[in-house]
Structure 1
Amino acid sequence: MLREAFEYLTTPCPPLARRFGYLAEMVALGARHRRQRLAWAPHVAACRRFVDQAIQRVEPGGRALVAGSGLLIEIPLESLTARFDQVVLVDMLHARPVRRRAARLPNVRLLELDVSGALAPLATALDRGGPLPTAFAPPVLDGEPFRFALSCNLLSQLPLLPLEALERHAPDMPEAERMAFARRLVRDHLGWLSRVAERAALFTDTDSCWLRGGDVLEADDSTWGLALPAPDMSWLWDIAPAPEQDRRHDLRHGVGGWFDVRKVTSAVPPC
């Protein structure tokens, strides 16, 4: 607990990221990984294997973008820096260990950015008690298009903290409006990835299930109702074996990886 408190107090963090809970989420994720390193190891290896295969599908050189780089747990950073002239790591904030690691690699750049473009308009709407924002869009980045872009476990996660903020500040908002907002974030992310790079790949958790003794007790979709095509690679992530999150039950995620986001985008029906 002391380590987590120190990280929370000393990590440089933009106000918007702190307000929506991204700093607390990052600190908690790092702590969970330290506790569950062995359980996570197959997932981490699968992610890095997926990224290594994805970057072999593009020509070397040029610039690469990693969206949702986080704590770099799942990212083979050295493989990326060896393949591309520059690697831009994008997230809401960057922990000090990430900053130190990036500083040792001359072709790595850190960028703190909300890739959804929705958080600032949402914060304004919540402050004013207004309706959910509709005038928002993912950002345009200097140097687009990149040669390669990678989205790391973002597709399912983008709506979570904004929806938690809505629950706190607008508990009476109809569920249909919340879900429409969430689906727009997810769809816009796919469109942004297709635009921001000549070739983009993504991996994301696609479902979650609670197990007891290996038997599935409850399962939920994690893609916000989007009918994604079959992934190019898939694997399991034992994210919270008992008693990490529940005393008796294990939490497991299914994860999918797609080498070409444009094929995903074209397969997802419009709203």
Structure 2
Amino acid sequence: MLLAFVLSLINPAPLHLRRLGYVRESGLLHARSRRCRRAWAPHLAQAKEVVAQAAAGCADRRLAVVLGSGLLDDVPLDILAKGFGAVRLVDAVHPWPTRVAVRHYPNVALVTAEISGGLSDPAVGQALQGAGFVVSANLLSQLPILPIEAYERRGREAPALLGTSIVEAHLAILTASARAGATVCLITDTLQREEDRHGHEVATLDLMYGVRLPEPSLAWDWELAPFGEVAGSRRFVHRVHAYPDWGASTW
């Protein structure tokens, strides 16, 4: 928790995004990713491989855009920077490890934007203009969290379909990019399983808020929270779907 607190203080971000909790959330994710490094490694390696293969098949190599770039743990930055004329990393918070990493690539730019609102933040649409390759990796299920928490902090119940509308809005952006000619790579966790130490499923949670996704090209399990991370006798495992060519999956 100390690492998360320190990161919430030092990671740069506009004041309105800081107030919405994005810097705090980024710090918590950074700290958990380091604590769970071994458990997350297979998932992150698989995600990077999917993005790399999707990029290799992309015909338009002028611009690659990564939505929700975060810590770049699941983004093969070197491959994108060397394979495309320009790369835009879009997120509400660009942590210091990411800021340091991009200094090695003069064609990589950071774009600060609030992605959960679809195209309500003009910076999202501007970043996507001219994109030949678009990546959304391990982002989609996270987008509704802070907007829903914002209602809860005010003692109010979030609108029933808020999470659904946010997921649908992001998918609409990806579909529009694909129809405009971009190769779109989507990787998202879709279902959370809570398991005990005997391997029994205790509970499940729909991370897509009722939105049905097409059959994925690839799927795997991600041990998000190993035993001891959330509870000594419980672990959380997420089912991940990968769509290296989102457009082909939806048409």
Give TM-score scaled by structure 2 length.
Answer: 0.91
The yes-or-no answer on 1:29 pairing with 2:26 is no
- Distance apart, 1:186 and its partner CA: 1.2
- Does the residue aligned with 1:116 lie in a helix, a strand or coil? helix
Residue of structure 1 in register with 2:50 after alignment:
50
**Long gaps (5+) in structure 1:** 119-134, 267-271
Whether contact under 8 Å (2:143, 2:166) holds in the other structure is yes
Contact 1:152 1:203 in 2 (8 A): yes
Equivalent position of 2:147 in the other structure: 162
Q: C-alpha deviations, 1:198-241, integer Å up to 9, x for none? A: 22111010100111122211112211111111111111111111
After the TM superposition, which residues 17-96 of structure 1 pair with which residues of structure 2 at under 5 Å, given as runs? 17-59=17-59, 61-96=61-96
Partner Cα separation in structure 2 for residue 16 and residue 232 of structure 1? 38
Q: Which residue of 2 aligns with 1:194?
A: 175
SS in 2 for 1:179: coil
**Are the aligned partners of 2:116 and 2:144 in contact in 1 as well (CA < 8 Å)?**
no
TM-score by length of 1: 0.84
Rounded to whole Å, the distance in 2 between the matches of 1:165 and 1:238 is 27
Structure 2 CA distance, aligned partners of 1:253 and 1:81? 30
- Structure-2 separation of matches of 1:63 and 1:77: 13
Q: Which has the larger radius of gyration?
A: 1
- The one-letter code sitting in structure 1 at the alignment partner of 2:190 is T
Match of 2:245 among 260, 265, 271: 260
- Give the deviation of 1:258 after TM superposition: 0.7
SS at match of 2:215: coil
Give the percent of matched residue pairs that are identical in Structure 1 and Structure 2: 36
- In the TM superposition, 1:80-229 aligns within 5 A as 80-117=80-117, 136=120, 139-141=124-126, 144-172=129-157, 178-196=159-177, 198-213=182-197, 214-229=199-214
Partner SS for 1:188: helix
Distance 1:161 1:265, change over 3 A: farther
Corresponding residue number in structure 2 for 1:130: none
| Dislocated runs of 4+, deviation >6 Å | none
Cα distance in 2, alignment partners of residues 87 and 77 from structure 1: 9
